[in-house]
Structure 1
Amino acid sequence: MSLSRKRKKELRKLQTQATSLWETQQVLVGEAASVAREAGRQLGHLNREQVKPRVTAGYETYAAPYVEKGKRVVNGTIVPAAGAVVGSALSVWDAANNTRSRLAEGRGISLPGSWGKPAPAPVKKGMGAGGVIAIILGVAAALGVLYAAWQTLRADDELWVADDPLRAPDA
């Protein structure tokens, strides 16, 4: 396909205008980025100098007394009572499990001070729930790492980056 001299001249002129527009847009984008950086820096100063002291003062004035009172109640009353209840419940649970296992083995109930040989410790069979959960979490973590690596290393044609940001694309 051959173009006339007039068309070639018009196309060169158009490409020159496009290149000029491209360069001015790149300069404009650079200026916008520097304005955004400065705005972020000023916002950080404003946060550090104005917002954070006011929030801290408001917390100290209004919320801190109630938070401290709540901590004292929780640490002084609720935690010790809950610890005692949980400890007692676990002791009862342990004793019930021990008695149930003896009855299941046919050894009967052993009373304190009874004579006889102590029973051998039961042999644990298989993997418990903790082991299964650990394996599932390990497999999930490995799959997550593999997926992240695949996303990082796959080729995307849509992710095009210009070699020279100031050069206009060819028409």
Structure 2
Amino acid sequence: MSLSRKRRKELKRLQSNAGELWENQQHVLEHANAVAREASRQLGHLTREEVVPRVRTGYESYVQPNVKRAGKVARAAGYTVERTMGNALGSVLSIGDIANDTRVRRAIERVSPRAAVVVKEKKGPGVGTYLAIGAGIIAAAGVAYAVWQTFRADDELWVADDETVGEASPTV
């Protein structure tokens, strides 16, 4: 395919313009990359100098005390449940042990032969199992309630930053 001289000149000019455009685009991309690197570096500095201290302060002033308080409440609730349920279960088990004692059975048989009932071994969960499960559920509910109380939003904790421009502050 033969091109006229005029078309070849136009094509050469167009090719040189395209090459120039390509170089300009490369310079623009290099400059954009340099700006992006600098922005990333500045963002890192800003994060270290401003954001991290604010987050740390917020954590130390709001979250940490409430977590400690929730831990104390949970420990106290656990101790109370453990003490109460331990006493109750201990009493029930000791009564069961006394009832199964052969000396007690013989004494009851001597007093009233019909009153002595042979206690059969149970095959499955008994009342104690259900009591323990109920105590566990109550303890878990207590811990969940303590955590909910700790992390719920209190209106008096939040203070507005600025008043709006249209409102006038109350005068005394």
- TM-score clears 0.5: no
User: More helix per residue: 1 or 2?
Assistant: 2
- Kindly indicate whether structure 1 or structure 2 has the higher relative contact order, using CA contacts under 8 Å at least 6 residues apart: 1
Give TM-score scaled by structure 1 length. Answer: 0.44
Give TM-score scaled by structure 2 length. Answer: 0.43
